[in-house]
Structure 1
Amino acid sequence: MLRGFLVLVLFFLLGEALQKVFLIPVSGGVLGMMLMTLTLMFKGGISDDLASASQGLISVLVLLIMPGVVGVFFTADQFAGQWLAVAAALLGGTFLSVLSTLWLMSRVVRLGGGKGE
């Protein structure tokens, strides 16, 4: 599991370095995640160490959302007159997110020949 955490941290640091060096307007964590995804796609699988480290982090995933929620709580007065636009953005974004996830999963299952069903 320690090796899995090391891989996660290394990809995070690589993403941060790329973001700082090339001034990319994307979070270093997102860049690292994209690089790790590409690496795993090229490699064709995931190691047991990385899988166990990732599984342990899923249980605390909600903690990653908390800073954004707290930020919205303290700036809620700025959105007072725009509740309809905020609600539409939240509903539309959620709908598009679910729709794209379902589409992607159907493609993955179809390409994988239905493995895992």
Structure 2
Amino acid sequence: MLSGFVTLLLFTVIGEAISTLFNLPVPGAVTGLILLLIWLQIKGGASDNLQQVSQFCIHYMAVLFIPSAVAVFFMTDLLSRQWLPLMLATFVATPVGIVISGHFMQYLLRHRETSRSREQQS
């Protein structure tokens, strides 16, 4: 389990370094996740340790949102001034992101099936 945690931290640090070094407009954590995805695609999947750590993190993810949810109550002034961008982000960008993610997932699944069928023919 420790090796899975180290793997997640390693990709987070690498992503932060790349985002900082190249002054990317993407957070380092997102860059690290993209690199992790690429690595897992090349490797062919996650190890058991990485899966265990990932499930543990997902299980307790709701706890990580508590501070930001509480902070919203103290930002009523800002929320009242910025309501339009917030509503657009919530009701336009979220569905668009879901649709794009769904199409990308379908592409990856089709690509995996094509690769498997080629391997079986060989």
TM-score bracket, shorter-length normalisation: 0.7 to 0.9
Partner of 2:39: 39
Instruction: Normalising by structure 2, report the TM-score.
Output: 0.74
Residue 62 and residue 24 in structure 1: after superposition, are their counterparts in 2 closer, same or farther (change >3 A)?
Answer: same
* Percent identity over paired residues: 36
Deviations 1:45-74 (A, max 9, x none): 211111111111111122333343334332
Alpha-carbon offset, residue 34 of structure 1: 1.3
Question: Which ranges of structure 1 fall in alignment gaps of 5 or more residues?
Answer: none
Alpha-carbon offset, residue 87 of structure 1: 2.5
Instruction: Normalising by structure 1, report the TM-score.
Output: 0.76
Aligned mates of 1:61, 1:40 — CA distance in 2: 22
SS in 2 for 1:54: helix
> In terms of mean alpha carbon deviation, does 6-15 or 86-95 score higher?
86-95
Question: Which ranges of structure 2 fall in alignment gaps of 5 or more residues?
Answer: 117-122
1:1-117 maps to which residues of 2 (within 5 A)?
1-113=1-113
> In terms of mean alpha carbon deviation, does 39-48 or 4-13 score higher?
39-48
The aligned length equals 115
Runs (4+) off by over 4 Å: none
> AA paired with 1:69?
A
Aligned mates of 1:61, 1:19 — CA distance in 2: 24
Alpha-carbon offset, residue 84 of structure 1: 4.8
> In terms of mean alpha carbon deviation, does 55-64 or 78-87 score higher?
78-87
Aligned mates of 1:31, 1:70 — CA distance in 2: 27
Aligned mates of 1:46, 1:70 — CA distance in 2: 34
Residue 82 and residue 10 in structure 1: after superposition, are their counterparts in 2 closer, same or farther (change >3 A)?
Answer: closer
Deviations 1:77-109 (A, max 9, x none): 122255355323311122213322332333334
CA RMSD of aligned residues (A): 2.5
> In terms of mean alpha carbon deviation, does 104-113 or 47-56 score higher?
104-113
